[in-house]
Chain A
């Protein structure tokens, strides 16, 4: 089997997303084990530094260009990848399981008649087959799966695979102009949440729960997030109470996250919340109740009052950062 791997490179505003580079590196590690090859494909208008995917292990990148494709179009993007795959006969497709990747990967799977493994957090090879580990029940359990179809699609959870230090290798870039793309579903505009880091993409998250006592006290959560360069998150209880927007919710009906550092402020640690954040590399909990379940997953904890501890944390961090 040839094991030709194609990695989809996601761009926003003409810049390649980090999660796509993670996918290139993961694909390149798999290709080495399966004696395969890695190519990349991108879709959009102008994209900066396409050749840099070479540093992560893709020998070639093909960019499908049209000004109308600068924003995502599920119909056009899926058609372009499927058509290119038909011409080049790729065996394996890698996506980042980002908002765009989760939308696009299943469409490409149907169009290329591939099996599909979503949100993988670990990939191994055993007797020339890829074994993927993925969380289910928001991380309360894990499954190891293999795809039995000839063609396969894997989507990798962002922020989990280490992209490593890139080499200076540059990928061959070829640009193909797309005529009349299929824009039957099309993004016409993007509304950005001003200046905020999204919990799904953040390397550090500071979340607040019921223990913050009211929406007016979330300034403290945001202030700690700011000194840490972190995103602010929230528990389901405070989102359901209308204190914070749903986009900040961490847990089983919110976002499942795995940042380097997760700081839980006044969060007791309901099972559905723990499921969504337990795979964080380091967890800090500040909670008055020393018996709160959050302390069972926390690496470091202070069983004290958030209104006293958090301002002290902000001061201390400012001190070491200055």
Chain B
């Protein structure tokens, strides 16, 4: 069976975000980019599944040449093949999902893993959208995955607990932290990944339905009062929470 995993290339979570001069985009200067953290869980689950049932894994990423860095990293973890859908235009989630769905179809992958969200635009929807375009069953925010024959059982994280969800192949799963412990790339893996070819393809043109009017930083929060350095400040703190903030 062919297993696909979709990966995105995002600013490091430790990065400071600055807005570009157009007031609508990120200023990438000085920002380190990484494999989207949730996608590492997706990659690990794809690799584990292949180890269990055999088959072939392919990673797909949409973006610029810079995304090759992320694709090399997941190849080094053990993914067999990589495809870059080369596109430097702005795409909204729906438009990204359409392009990914086309490629997954072309790859004929029956099982697909995504991270539950990219930590850039934080929509948490591209997996579900892609599954809809493919007509695949989809379970999102998964913390436990099992596949027996055609049948899938997952645990999905919800407020205050977990849902046990059942479905069948073909299916798309979005990974939440806790699903597994992503492996580190071995030196051998890193060397092998350098030699692998990343297939470049042109996705169909974007048709966006979301327009960004402005991008801005949140208004800075005014630093508050330091009320003291020990427990003697506690009565004043509790009084302020009760009388000024009115939150307790």
Residues of A within 8 A of B211 (CB): 145-148
Cα–Cα, bound, A313→B224 (Å): 19
Residues of B within 8 A of A15 (CB): none
Q: Kindly name the residue among B26, B93, B228, B234 whose own CB sees the greatest number of chain A CB atoms within 10 A.
A: B234
**Prevailing SS type, chain B contact patch:** mixed
A1 interface hit (Cβ, 8 Å): no
* A103 and B248 contact, CB distance less than 8 A: no
A305 interface hit (Cβ, 8 Å): yes
From A110, A196, A228, B133 is in contact (CB under 8 Å) with: A110
Known contacts A143-B214, A253-B37, A278-B218: A302-B119 contact under CB 8 Å: no
Residues of B within 8 A of A278 (CB): 218, 221
Known contacts A106-B93, A141-B19, A260-B247: A99-B210 contact under CB 8 Å: no
Q: Which residue of B lies closest to A72 (CB)?
A: B163
* B241 and A261 contact, CB distance less than 8 A: yes
Cα–Cα, bound, A99→B229 (Å): 40
Cα–Cα, bound, A280→B7 (Å): 31
* B210 and A116 contact, CB distance less than 8 A: yes
Q: How far is the CB of B18 from chain A (nearest CB, A)?
A: 9
A107 interface hit (Cβ, 8 Å): yes
Residues of A within 8 A of B94 (CB): 109-110, 115-116
Known contacts A103-B140, A106-B132, A290-B226: A143-B17 contact under CB 8 Å: no
Cα–Cα, bound, A139→B238 (Å): 28
From A72, A115, A187, A193, B160 is in contact (CB under 8 Å) with: A193
* A304 and B141 contact, CB distance less than 8 A: no
Q: Which residue of A lies closest to B168 (CB)?
A: A184
* A252 and B237 contact, CB distance less than 8 A: no
* Contact indicator per residue, chain B 14-39, by CB within 8 Å of chain A (1) or not (0): 11110100000010000000000110
Q: Bin chain B's interface residue count.
A: 35 or more
A67 interface hit (Cβ, 8 Å): no
* Contact indicator per residue, chain B 237-248, by CB within 8 Å of chain A (1) or not (0): 110111001011
Q: Which B residues from 193 to 248 make CB contacts under 8 A with A?
A: 208-218, 221, 223-231, 233-235, 237-238, 240-242, 245, 247-248
B79 interface hit (Cβ, 8 Å): no
A100 interface hit (Cβ, 8 Å): yes
* B210 and A184 contact, CB distance less than 8 A: no
* A190 and B214 contact, CB distance less than 8 A: no
A300 interface hit (Cβ, 8 Å): yes
Q: How far is the CB of B138 from chain A (nearest CB, A)?
A: 7
A172 interface hit (Cβ, 8 Å): no
Known contacts A119-B123, A141-B17, A191-B155: A295-B241 contact under CB 8 Å: no
* Contact indicator per residue, chain A 256-274, by CB within 8 Å of chain B (1) or not (0): 1000110000000011100
Q: Kindly name the residue among A131, A279, A300 whose own CB sees the greatest number of chain B CB atoms within 10 A.
A: A300
- Residues of chain B touching chain A, judged by Cβ–Cβ distance below 8 Å, are 11, 13-17, 19, 26, 37-38, 92-94, 119-125, 128-129, 131-133, 137-141, 143, 155-168, 176-178, 208-218, 221, 223-231, 233-235, 237-238, 240-242, 245, 247-248
- Residues of chain A touching chain B, judged by Cβ–Cβ distance below 8 Å, are 71-72, 74-75, 78, 98-100, 102-103, 105-107, 109-111, 114-119, 131, 135-149, 184-193, 196-198, 200-201, 204, 228, 245-247, 249, 252-254, 256, 260-261, 270-272, 278-279, 281-284, 290, 295-305, 308-309, 311-313, 316-317, 320
29 contacts between A and B (CB under 8 A): A74-B138, A106-B128, A110-B133, A131-B213, A135-B122, A135-B218, A136-B121, A137-B26, A137-B122, A141-B215, A142-B215, A146-B210, A148-B210, A185-B138, A201-B159, A253-B38, A256-B122, A261-B241, A283-B221, A296-B221, A298-B224, A300-B245, A302-B226, A302-B229, A302-B237, A303-B228, A304-B228, A311-B231, A313-B238
List 7 A-B pairs, minimum CB-CB distance, nearest first. A115-B209, A110-B132, A106-B125, A149-B209, A299-B224, A312-B231, A99-B158
